[in-house]
Amino acid sequence: MRDLPMADVSSPSGQRWLTIIGIGEDGPAGLGEEAKRLIASAPAVFGGARHHALAASLITGEKLSWQSPFERSIDAIVERRGSPVVVLASGDPFLYGVGATLSRHVAAEEMHVIPAPSAFSLAASRLGWPLQDVATVSLHGRPLDLIRPHLHPGRRIIALTSDEKGPGELAALLAAAGFGQSRLTVLEALGGSRERQRRTTAADFDLAEIDPLNVCALDLAAGEGARILPFSAGLEDALFEHDGQITKREIRAVTLSALAPRHGELLWDIGAGAGSIGIEWMLADPSLKAIAIEQSPERAARIARNASAFGVPHLAVVEGSAPDALRGLPEPDAIFLGGGGSEPDVMDGAIAALKRGGRLVANAVTLEMEAVLLSEYTKRGGSLTRIDISRTEPLGGMRGWRPAMPVTQWRWTKG
């Protein structure tokens, strides 16, 4: 979809020409008089087939259904800028809805929005769950793996699914992750005449004839060996699939602290190995993005598997060698250089690509890479840290300290 400019709100096109109305399964009965009047007077009403059916008694203008790809419909709406248009949406248009998409192309001053209760609000009200204490996750058109970071014993989750298969697939994921005894409530067609609730456990899931319009409420219970992802940095190495090429947990925790992720930022993880740095970067906040650059095809495939297993399947994996593989990638806010940094032009390529004000963190375990970091520190400044870790190991019939290879870490901010 082309990049459409925001309207000049001081011009006639800046008037409120676009009305977005949330509609529930109860149709016109759940709408106020203003919403009904706006739908009835609109020369064009965009929405899905279900929305048009719900509002059929009110629509007098042209019914325009969503096109595929969806961007074509957004273009068609924006092309009518300045003329009255109504868009029908499910529930709250600005909670994982079409309103969020349209706001990237239409200024708020041009929109009039009348929301309805979201599926999350309706589900919480039916269950008596305070919504502020519940994790709300949209799995509609998104990978089920996104639920994984939320899997903690005692946690409550309301998840919006894509279709009638979603609850069963979600139950299977929970059971495989060691949360089979979690209570699962399927709430179907909320707010309409077909509304119903059914309860089971993830392990015993056998519900059939599920309405495609559903949400799942999860009351989580963890079994022995359940895969739980702590909120702290430096997750156990054993949680990752790896071949030994992984930044170990203690070093990883220090490294993530040095990278200092901030809202909405993009990380490049160059020489990503198992992908652990990029994965934990993304786990710090849903707004964070990362690109893992890895030359080994086997390791690149492993990174993708790890990303799914940790609930960040949108981690981008670029297979190739730096610096060539860096060309054309989005400008990073932070870069971690953990492997291959001593190769010619890799450090220079990373520094050149880094956004002004961005952070670069590089770790060295070899003398060759340490020499590169010493040179960069002397030339550019920043901070240089030596990290020594020792772990206990058997020593005869007793135990002693076994030092790991020391790590030299250079941290630098681009001025």
Give, as one character, the DSSP assignment of residue 329: P
Given CA atoms 163, 166, 168, 169 in this order, what sign does their dihedral have? positive
State yes or no: pLDDT of 30 exceeds 90: yes
Residue pLDDT, tens place only, 217-260: 999 999 999 999 999 999 999 999 999 989 999 999 999 999 99
> What's the pLDDT at 256?
98
> What's the pLDDT at 395?
87
- Tell me the Ramachandran region of residue 26: left when phi exceeds 0, alpha when psi lies from -120 to 50, beta otherwise: alpha
State yes or no: pLDDT of 5 exceeds 80: no
The confidence band for 1, taking pLDDT boundaries of 50, 70 and 90, is: very low
Quote the CA–CA distance of 23 and 97 in Å, as a whole number. Answer: 12
State yes or no: pLDDT of 309 exceeds 60: yes
pLDDT above 70 covers a percentage of the chain that reads 97
The confidence band for 341, taking pLDDT boundaries of 50, 70 and 90, is: confident
The confidence band for 147, taking pLDDT boundaries of 50, 70 and 90, is: very high
**Residues 284-321: b if buried by 16+ CB within 10 A, e if exposed:** beeebbbbbbbbbeebbebbbebbbbbbbbebbbbbeb
State yes or no: pLDDT of 50 exceeds 60: yes
- Residues in Cβ contact with 26 at an 8 Å cutoff, skipping those fewer than 6 apart: 191, 192, 193
Mean pLDDT (whole number) for 6-22 = 65
Q: Model-level pTM greater than 0.85?
A: yes
| Nearest in space to 153 (alpha carbons), one of 123, 177, 137, 170 | 177
Mean pLDDT (whole number) for 358-364 = 97
Residue pLDDT, tens place only, 267-300: 999 999 999 999 999 999 999 999 999 999 999 9
Q: Which residues pair with 407 in a beta bridge?
A: 387
CA atoms within 13 A on the CB side of 247: 32
Residue with tokens 């309805």: 116
Mean pLDDT (whole number) for 118-138 = 97
Mean pLDDT (whole number) for 356-377 = 95
The confidence band for 11, taking pLDDT boundaries of 50, 70 and 90, is: very low
Domains with residue ranges and CATH for the chain: 12-116 (3.40.1010.10), 120-219 (3.30.950.10), 237-413 (3.40.50.150)
The confidence band for 175, taking pLDDT boundaries of 50, 70 and 90, is: very high
State yes or no: pLDDT of 3 exceeds 50: no
State yes or no: pLDDT of 343 exceeds 90: no
> What's the pLDDT at 8?
37
